[in-house]
């Protein structure tokens, strides 16, 4: 395989349809599609190119599309939340929304005939869903408590917005970056606890101080970021990002993103989609050549990395009430079970953010919500709001850290149902066990790993297995994922546990490895990690 895209004859079907017509071209055809209806549309436009404007055909619910937004740094306003709620509301029982593992939101039940109106509504409140799927750059994550946290090293909000503006032409769509070899993930960490899972992104920036040199040598250390590259999960291979040996000042982050993306766009491997993520190019070239090409695009040398980064805290989950750096103000993290919201919840969250806070709402990569800027004087009343009975500030120790991907309810890749099953099993485990610390359990419906089982204490990856000679839904179990300081990926420790046996299996795992105690001795079973 050579550096560049392969010849037309050997193009795979995705490269072929991208070469025939750029994905973003569908932006000008939305009225036409709305008039045609989903059944009469060209299939490639419907099933693939619409993802360039964030609209996903769902084979599981044909005619009811999903829309994936872009929310830089996971931040939105109450009017934006109301606009999203209004869209979901019109679909009755089909309408709902999910907060995603990239601090983002997806809406469900969308009808193609409503798209022109939906896009107008988004435009009116400054929302965009452009370039959020297929071979584009995903939602850019930033510190969820940026600008609120007294201990933060850098407020990531502005730079995340600048990167999105550059890559998407301020949300209108940017053809420069609509034909990447594959998806691409970017994260910027601003605090000491790596709230964004920097290590699982194709490109990540982590806080690091550099000693001044030359005339600056007498000055105090200068703030900037060490750059990580090549982190990704896929069904075939999962890798943590590796250091590029580069330190960049905050003003240079946007230019470095552009340079890395240009190198990936122009040289990333395109023949085999299983090998198209950035790390495969770094493997083929070696890190030195990749770094050199980034420098060529930048038109200047990169400084070597600072000797150490500043990620030295355990990861926080931001659930509960916390003082902000602004005196007299608080941010409150609400737990949203598996990230699922309905229209009435979304309207209510918007109302609470306006009445008690400044109207701002934030999402975390754990699929939860933060409402910032609540004055001390209003906090007590806020905490009595009925919505907090469902979206708790103090959930059970397993519920608190539960994360789940979409699963078979809406995703055709799924090998198992995830969200409802995850909630049911966690509830039963919490009823049977006394826990002393939270245990991070992540569910993902297939090896694509959208639910990030490799970062969890216990990761559950959907699979098909056999029980009593019959094919049944099961999970492969991952353990050892570490987040925050010294983050590293967990690995698969046991394969093919049938979902119907999972609750006793997890119960034993929690007792043996996480200090849980059964409420009744009789509940202890003899499943263990050695079982196979």
Dihedral angle at the C-alpha atoms of 232, 233, 237, 240, nearest 10 degrees? 50
How many helices (H) and strands (E) in the chain? Answer: 14, 23
d(CA 308, CA 310) in angstroms, rounded, equals 7
Catalytic residues: 68, 182-183, 445, 450-451
Could you give the 3-state DSSP secondary structure of residue 54? coil
67 sits near ligand SF4 (criterion: CB under 6 A):
no
Asked if 452 is part of the footprint of ligand SRM (rule: CB under 6 A), the reply reads yes
Q: Which residue of 73, 77, 156, 234 would you call a contact of ligand SRM, by CB under 6 A?
A: 234
State the greatest distance between any 2 C-alpha atoms of the chain, in Å, as a whole number: 74
Asked if 163 and 253 touch (Cβ cutoff 8 Å), the reply is yes
Instruction: Point out which residues pair with 480 in neighbouring strands.
Output: none
What is the contact mask toward ligand SF4 in residues 412 to 441, using x (rule: CB under 6 A)?
-xx---------------------------
277 binds ligand SRM (CB under 6 A): yes
**Residue 106 binds which of ligand SRM, ligand SF4, none (CB < 5-8 A, kind-dependent):** ligand SRM
Site stretch for ligand SF4 (CB under 6 A), options 146-154, 248-256, 406-414, 478-486: 406-414
Site map (CB under 6 A) of ligand SRM, residues 306-335, x = contact: ------------------------------
Question: How far apart are alpha carbons 268 and 251 in whole angstroms?
Answer: 26
**110 or 298: whose CB is closer to ligand SRM?**
110
Instruction: Tell me 483's DSSP state.
Output: -
- Give me the least distance between CB of 102 and ligand SF4, in Å please: 12
Answer with the entry of ligand SF4, ligand SRM, none that 268 interacts with (C-beta below 5 to 8 A by kind).
none
Q: Which residue has the tokens 């994905």?
A: 23
Size of the site for ligand SF4 (CB under 6 A): 13
Please, which residues bridge with residue 208 across strands?
A: 224
State which residue, 44 or 104, has the beta carbon closest to ligand SRM.
104
User: How many of the chain's residues bind ligand SRM (CB under 6 A)?
Assistant: 31
Closest by CA to 61, choosing from 18, 107, 29, 7, is 107
**105 neighbors 144 (Cβ within 8 angstroms):** no
Nearest residue to ligand SF4 on Cβ basis: 445
Residue 515, beta-bridge partner list: none
Query: SS3 for 394-453, per residue?
Result: CCCCCHHHCEECCHHHCCCCCCCCCHHHHHHHHHHHHHHEECCCCCCEEEECCCCCCCCH
**Between 319 and 352, whose beta carbon lies closer to ligand SRM?**
319
168 forms part of the interface with ligand SRM (CB under 6 A)? no
Shortest distance (Å) from residue 409 CB to ligand SRM: 8
Interacting residues toward ligand SRM by CB under 6 A:
56, 58, 66, 68, 98, 100-102, 104, 106, 138-139, 182-183, 185, 200, 232-235, 277, 405-406, 410-413, 448-450, 452
């Amino acid at each position: 395989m050579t550096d560049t895209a392969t010849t037309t004859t050997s193009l795979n079907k995705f490269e072929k349809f991208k070469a025939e017509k750029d994905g973003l071209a569908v932006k000008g055809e939305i009225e036409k599609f709305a008039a045609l209806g989903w059944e009469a549309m060209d299939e490639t436009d419907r099933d693939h190119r619409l993802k360039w404007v964030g609209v996903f055909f769902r084979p599981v619910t044909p005619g009811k599309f999903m829309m994936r937004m872009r929310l830089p740094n996971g931040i939105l306003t109450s009017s934006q939340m109301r606009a999203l709620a209004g869209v979901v509301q019109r679909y009755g029982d089909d309408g709902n929304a999910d907060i995603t593992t990239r601090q983002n939101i997806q809406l469900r039940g969308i009808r193609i005939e409503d798209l022109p109106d939906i896009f107008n509504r988004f435009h009116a409140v400054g929302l965009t869903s452009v370039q959020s799927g297929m071979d584009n750059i995903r939602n850019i994550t930033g510190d969820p408590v940026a600008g609120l946290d007294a201990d933060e090293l850098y407020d990531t909000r502005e730079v995340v917005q600048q990167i999105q503006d550059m890559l998407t032409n301020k949300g209108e769509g940017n053809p420069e970056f609509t034909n990447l070899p594959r998806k691409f993930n970017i994260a910027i960490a601003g605090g000491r606890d790596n709230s964004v899972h920097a290590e699982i992104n194709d490109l990540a920036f982590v806080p690091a101080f550099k000693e001044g040199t030359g005339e600056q040598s007498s000055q105090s250390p200068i703030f900037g970021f060490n750059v990580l590259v090549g982190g990704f999960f896929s069904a075939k291979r999962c890798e943590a990002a590796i250091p590029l040996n580069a330190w960049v000042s905050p003003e240079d982050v946007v230019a470095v993103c552009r340079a890395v993306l240009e190198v990936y766009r122009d040289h990333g491997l395109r023949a085999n989609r299983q090998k198209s993520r950035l790390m495969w190019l770094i493997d083929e070239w070696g890190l030195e050549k990749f770094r050199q090409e980034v420098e060529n695009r930048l038109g200047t040398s990169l400084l070597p990395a600072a000797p150490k980064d500043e990620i030295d805290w355990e990861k926080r989950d931001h659930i509960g009430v916390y003082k902000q750096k602004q005196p007299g103000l608080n941010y409150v993290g609400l737990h949203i079970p598996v990230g699922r919201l309905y229209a009435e919840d979304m309207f209510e969250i918007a109302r609470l953010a306006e009445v008690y806070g400044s109207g701002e709402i934030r999402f975390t990569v754990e699929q939860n919500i933060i409402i910032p800027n609540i004055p001390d004087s209003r906090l007590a009343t806020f905490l009595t709001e009925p919505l907090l009975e469902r979206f708790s500030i103090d959930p059970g120790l397993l519920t608190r850290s539960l994360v789940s991907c979409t699963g078979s309810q809406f995703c055709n890749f799924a090998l198992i149902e995830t969200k409802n099953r995850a909630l049911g099993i966690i509830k039963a485990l919490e009823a049977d066990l006394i826990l002393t610390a939270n245990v991070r359990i992540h569910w993902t419906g297939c090896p694509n790993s959208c639910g990030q089982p490799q970062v969890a204490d216990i990761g559950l990856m959907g699979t098909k297995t056999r029980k009593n000679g019959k094919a049944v839904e099961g999970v492969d179990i991952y353990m050892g994922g570490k987040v925050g300081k010294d983050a590293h990926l967990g690995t698969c420790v046991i394969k093919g546990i049938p979902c119907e046996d999972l609750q006793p299996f997890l119960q034993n795992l929690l007792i043996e490895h996480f200090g849980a105690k059964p409420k009744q001795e009789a509940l202890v079973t003899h499943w263990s990690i050695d079982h196979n």
